Every structure is written in structure tokens, then in C-alpha cells.
Amino acid sequence: MLRYNTTMKSKKTITILLLWLTAVVAQAQQFTLSGKVTDADGNAIELATVSCLEQGAVTMANLKGEYSLKLHSADSVVIKFSMVGYQTRTRVLRRPRGNQRLLISLQSMKALDEVVVTERRRQTTATEQLDTKNLKQTPSTTGNAVEELVQQQAGVSTHNELSSQYNVRGGSFDENSVYINNVEVYRPLLIRSGQQEGLSVINSDMVEKIGFSSGGFEAKYGDKMSSALDIQYRKPTRWEGNVQASLLGGSVFLGYGNKKFSMSHGLRYKTNRYLLGSLETKGEYKPNFLDYQTYITFSPNERWNIDFIGNISENHYNFSPSDRETSFGTMENVKSFKVYFDGQEKDIFRTLFGTLRIQRNFTSKTKASLLFSAFHTKEQETYDIQGQYWLDDTQTQEQLGVGTYMEHARNYLKANVMSLKLMGNHKSGHHDIEGAVTMKWEKIEEQAREYEMRDSSGYSIPHSANRLDLIYSLASSNKLSSTRFEAYLQDTYRFQSHGEKPWYFTLNYGVRVAHWSYNKETIASPRISLAAIPSFNEDMTFRLSAGLYYQAPFYKEARDTSTVNGTTNVTLNEKIKSQRSIHIVGAFDYRFHMMKRPFRFSAEAYYKILNNLIPYNVQNMKVVYYGKNMASGHAFGLDLKLFGEFVPGTDSWITFSVMSTKQKINGVSVPLPTDQRWGVNLHFTDNFPGTERWKMTLRLAFADGLPFGAPHRGLEYQQFRAPAYKRADIGMSYLLLGSASQKPTIRKPRIWLGIDGLNIFGISNVNSYYWVTDVTNHQYAVPNYLTGRQINGRVLVEF
């Protein structure tokens, strides 16, 4: 028994000794790697990623660029240092032991001939950076690739594939600000349909960066209530160009650059004649849209930068309708609407836009810019169209309505907007301070005359016993000359908490003020946002933003109407005030790997308190305001987005949004005209198996229909909702010449052949309604459908 106990004690002692030796060996095999990550000038690179993929270890540098990482020793340990905007570096450590210190300098991408992006920038503000690399391989109906990319984001909706306009979280088309190189841009004012829309001022061939915010954006973005789109043009570094042609138009781009000088020239042509041929209204469509744009930069030395953007756009829309036949209703109750037309429409939209910027770099951290911009538009909308219609019940052959209508318009508008902006930036420690002062001069002239006559079954509508009245008549003769003063100041402050495992924070705060001479209103708009990266999981980011946002009235919002003897007269309301919205946005981002590929999940919940609203009606793409601040309301919802490489080397995403909006007008609570209660968007890209020469892009949109009601009545009577908008587009591209993985420094030409299936399921989406009244004063809403199924072929030559 004694021998047994002695044996057991010996075994226990040996076990303890082995465990101790194992711990000593394991401790000897571990080492600590620390150091600092800087740029070429020795400045710390904040939040740089330091990783050892073989051991699954990763950390981030703090706000001083310092890092520390515990690893296991081996014959060779590979360490990777990466940060968006810098070249990724890799170092190999041979049999490391104890404490190792490694100082790494990363080179900026601007100094590289070849750029390889290894990770995506973490979003620490309300502005998301959108990828631009696949804009030309995506099926397109408008030719405006940037806006179509924005339309697929969470919280953004569109119900018209012919238009590049979009709604954001319940806002109208006019509530979205757009900037190109820090200058706000405008669009034509008389556009009333997607058929009339030409090419937007954004040329996708020139775009380097796209920043988009759907709410809670910074003070530097102007006085709009819904969203901000920030476009930065790129500077070519050598000769480059491309030529693209399709059944919907074509484009030519040519660029050149060196260390001191760069230039970009883009010529675009668009005709949606082929696409409009699928509409139910048949006739002779002659839309022609032409656009030229240039971007020139000159840097004589490191202290001075001068750049210029010029744009000329000429849009013509000519249309002579012949006939139309529409069937609508339910399976048990089908109605047929037939119209024979006479007359034509001729529209011209001519716009000029230019900016000149002179920038002085006092130091590497301080700079000032003087920006001058000018916008001119001359618009003409004229039509005389007569239609004779029959409305029948297809089952009983009963004639429900018969009549004639006549539509007339002579609308002319000229607008000039000039601005002078002084802008400054200064970086000090962890602060990035930015501010600007802007003066704008506006001059707008409008001459408009519209009317519509309806003769139903022998009498005019509205019917009067002793006179002939028109159902709609409008007259406008107005001029507006005014000045605006705008200024903002904001700071982005990056800091961290104390302790071994700190939290990392990004705080943006600022204020914006503005004054409009026309209504003598001064507004102040404070805004703040905070992003936090927690210590317990560096792949997570929490964001919270809030602010007071104003929609400063422009010419359209100030147009007030009064009806006398059946004629609606337009005057300008000098007492119009800015619409107001308080944004509260909470967001969560999570980066993860699935199937060994990177993904990102984002969720944003928002609540908007709306006051001083100017109610409006939407007919097709035309927004008509009441001209008075007479409503209040709210909008709240949730936006979800899953983004990643579902297929290696390609970008795909799916979004889901839910929203509820209300506004109170004259004591009646109704939804906003853009109340899209839910929406789903899918953008999926793939390569054909076994080859990189074939690429496929699929776009799906499924969104709730919008509220509507009978025309020339108040929003209080919009008791109907249009059917859901459903659309699927697919594009396939084949690389006929060149390499799909061609390096940027190689200048060999590439030729892409593509074919797009537009609305591949042939779904009849409703754009708007034409209302027919029978002799019993019963109204029928006849749907105006959008485009049908079409095939588009395209060719792209890059050199």
C-alpha cells in the first residue's frame, strides 16, 4: 500500500513538472510585437490595421499610430500593415522572441503608379463612400450611372426608371443636395417627366469618389432636408480614354495628366427613343440629349492649385403622339381606354455650368480655397395635344365614357445663379477643422401659360349653365432677384479612452447659418455626430447623429397660387419660410468574414420631426408646391444593408427599408406623397464559372407604391395607393480584347461587349394616372405605365 502511494505521488509530481515545462516552452514561443505606423512625412496613421493572418490575430493602431500585438513565434511570422488610402506593406519576422519593436512607414496611394485596395474605409461619419469601379458594367436606362448607384442604396427610392431623381427617407426630389468638388450644382426647373430628362451634370468617367449621406450629415453640406451627395472628380496621371456606344446613346472620354497639369474631356449623347418605343402611348419620339464637360487642373508648385470645371448641356425633347390603348382593372372587371391624338410637344433645356477654384496650401496642414461658380439655364416647354378617348367595359361592351381633351402649354424660364465661396481647412493634432463663407446671387424669370379643356359626352367639365370653363388654367409672370449668405464651421475630433483596451471615437460637430434677402429669414443649423469603435470588438462601429436641418426655399417653393374666375394665377410668396427637420439617427456597422470573404452589415434607425412644411403634389416627375408653410409631420424608419463579396472579387449588396410618414394639413393627417412603406433592392455581380472574361450584373427593385388621388384636389383627398414598383434588369459583359486583371500601369486597350435585359420580366409599372370623368361624374383612374421589356446592346473600348 505504501509503495502504491509512493508511485501515485511520483506520477503526480511528473505531471506537474510536465505542465510547468509546457507553460515555460509556450511562454518562450510567444512574443510581443509593438511599434508605430506613420506616413512618408512621419505623421501617425490612425486606426491602421496590423494583422497576422496565419495566427488569426489582428489589432488597430491607436490615434498616435502605436500598436501592440501578442503572437506565437515560428520560423517565419508574416505581419501585414494596411490602411485605406495607403499601400499595404508586409514584413516577415524570422524566429522572433521576447519584445519586438517595428516602425512602419506606409506610402500614400497618390504616390503610386499601381494601386491595390485591400480593405474598405470604415464609416465613422454619416457619409458612406460608394465604390465606383463597376459603373460601366451595370445595366442602365438613364445613362446617369452615379445616380442609378445612389438609387440602390438603403433608404433611397425611385419609381421611374426613366429618371435619375430619387427620394430619400420620405423627402421630395428637391430635398437632395449635390456637390461636385465642394460646389453645389442645380438641375433644370421645368422637368415634369422622365422622358424629358437628359444627362445629369455628373459625368461618371470623371468621378473619383462618391460620398452619400441619407441623413444626419455634416454642417458643410447645404440647406436641404433629406440627403447629401458629394462628388470628387479625379485627376488623370497619364493618357487614358474610353469610347462607349449603345442603343441608348454613347460617350467619349479623354484624359491626360502629369505632376503639374491634368485635363479631362467628356462628350456624351443620349437618346431614349428606343426605350420610349415600349410605352403604351405610340407616336414619333425624338429625344436628343447632348453634353460636354471638361475638368482642368494646374499646380505650378506645392503651394498653389488651380482647377476649372465647365459643362454645356443641350436637351431636346420632341414628341408627336398618335394613339394609345390601355387595359386596366381586375381580372373580373377589365376596362379599356383608347385615345387618338393630334398635336405635338417641343421642349428645350439648355444649361451652362462652370466652377473655378484657386487653392493656397500654406502648410501641409493648412489650406484655403476661393471658389467661383455660375449656373445658367434656359428652358422652354411647349405643347398642344388633343386627344379623343373612349372608355369601355370589356365584358359588357358598355361605353362608360367618351370625350375630347385639349392640353396647351407655353412655359419659358431663365435662371442664373452665381456664387463666391471662401473655404479653409486646418489640421491640428486630432482635430480637422473646416469652414467656409459663401455669397450667392440668384435671378429667375418665368413666363408660363397652361390650360386643359375636357369635353365629356357633349359638355365641358366642369359644367356650368351660363359659361364655358376649363378644368385647369394657369398663368404665371414672375421675376425673382435675391442674394443668399451662407457660412459653416465644423470640427472632426478623433480621440480614445484610457486603458489597455481603449475605445476609439470620432466626433463631428458644427453649425451652419444662412440668410435669404427675399424673405429676410436667417436660419442656424447645429449638427453633431459621434462614432465609437468598442474595445471588445474592433469590427463593430456604433454611430449616433442629430441635427437641425432646413430646406431653404427656392423659386419653386415660393410659387403661391390663387384662383379667380377659373384661372389660377401664380405669385411669389415673400413670407415663405424654410421647412425644418430635426434628424435623430442611430446606426450600427459590423465587419465580418464569411466563406473567407469580407462582408459588412449596416443598420440605421432614424426619426425626423418635420415643421413648417410646404405641401406639394407629385405628378410624374413634376413637383408642385402649395406656396405656403401650412403643415407639420414626421418620418421614421429602419434601413438595413448587407454588403460584401458574395462572389470573390465582386461587390454585391442587398438592402431592406421600412418607413412611415405623416403630415397634418388643415387638421387632416395624411401620408407624405413619397410615403414608401417598404422597399427591397438587390445588386448582385458574378463571374461566369472558369473565366474572368464574362461578368454578370443583376439589379432587382421591389418597393411599395406611393399615395395618389384625383388631380386638382388637396392632399387630404389622396386616399389611394399605387401598385408596388417591381423591376429586374440584368447585364452581361464579355471581355473581347485585353486582360480582366490588367494592372493600372499597363496601357493595353480593352474591348468589352455587353448586352442588357431591361425589365426582363416585362412588368407594367405605374408611373401616374390620367383621370376620366363620365356623365354621372364618376371618375376613373387610368394608369400611365412605364417602359416594357427591352434589350440593349453596348460596346466599350478602353485605352
**Lookup: cell for 6:** 509512493
Strand 30-38 relative to strand 98-105, pairing = parallel
Residues 26 and 43: beta-carbon distance below 8 Å = no
Q: Which residues contact 139 (CB under 8 A, 6 or more apart)?
A: 697, 699, 729, 730, 731, 756, 757, 758, 792
Tell me what pLDDT residue 2 has. 40
Preceding peptide of 462 cis, ω within 30°: yes
Classify residue 134 as left (phi > 0), alpha (psi -120 to 50) or beta.
alpha
**Nearest Cα to 65, choosing from 490, 504, 425, 365?**
504
Tell me what pLDDT residue 687 has. 83
Is 398 in a helix, a strand, or coil? Answer: coil
In the block, residue with C-alpha cell 469652414: 435
**Which tens digits make up the pLDDT trace of 105-115?**
888 765 444 33
How far apart CA 417 and CA 222 sit, in angstroms, is 15
- β-strand partners of 79: 91
Tell me what pLDDT residue 595 has. 79
How far apart CA 545 and CA 534 sit, in angstroms, is 17
How far apart CA 444 and CA 409 sit, in angstroms, is 19
**DSSP 8-state class, residue 44:** B
Taking the CA atoms of 154, 159, 161 and 167 in sequence, report the sign of the dihedral they define. negative
| CA-to-CA separations, 537 to 58, 331, 338, 504, in angstroms, rounded | 11, 56, 64, 11
Q: Burial of 128 by CB count in 10 Å (0-12 exposed, 13-18 middle, 19+ buried)?
A: buried
How far apart CA 588 and CA 606 sit, in angstroms, is 12
**Lookup: cell for 321:** 403622339
**Lookup: cell for 319:** 414628341
In the block, residue with C-alpha cell 484624359: 255
In the block, residue with C-alpha cell 427620394: 167
**Nearest Cα to 462, choosing from 715, 712, 768?**
712
**Nearest Cα to 126, choosing from 740, 546, 643?**
546
Tell me what pLDDT residue 241 has. 92
How far apart CA 643 and CA 655 sit, in angstroms, is 9
Tell me what pLDDT residue 467 has. 59
**Which tens digits make up the pLDDT trace of 554-595?**
999 999 988 777 788 999 999 999 999 999 999 999 999 887
How far apart CA 217 and CA 230 sit, in angstroms, is 11
| C-alpha neighbours within 13 Å on the C-beta side of residue 295 | 22
Residues 675 and 706: beta-carbon distance below 8 Å = yes
Residues 533 and 541: beta-carbon distance below 8 Å = yes
Tell me what pLDDT residue 755 has. 94
The pTM (predicted TM-score) of the whole model is: 0.85
Q: Which residues contact 769 (CB under 8 A, 6 or more apart)?
A: 708, 722, 781, 782, 783, 784
**Which tens digits make up the pLDDT trace of 416-461?**
999 999 999 999 888 999 999 999 999 999 999 998 887 765 555 5
Tell me what pLDDT residue 111 has. 42
Q: Which residues contact 107 (CB under 8 A, 6 or more apart)?
A: 39, 40, 86, 87
Residues 113, 115, 118, CA angle at the centre, nearest 5°? 160
How far apart CA 602 and CA 154 sit, in angstroms, is 9
How far apart CA 462 and CA 23 sit, in angstroms, is 95
How far apart CA 475 and CA 10 sit, in angstroms, is 108
**Nearest Cα to 377, choosing from 420, 316, 438, 314?**
314
Q: For the CA atoms of 419, 422, 427, 430, what is the dihedral angle to 10 degrees? A: -60
Tell me what pLDDT residue 686 has. 87
Tell me what pLDDT residue 114 has. 38
Tell me what pLDDT residue 463 has. 58
Tell me what pLDDT residue 115 has. 39
The parts of the chain modelled with pLDDT lower than 70 are 1-28, 109-121, 456-469, 712, 742-747, 774-777
Task: Provide the 10 A C-beta neighbour count for residue 798.
Answer: 19
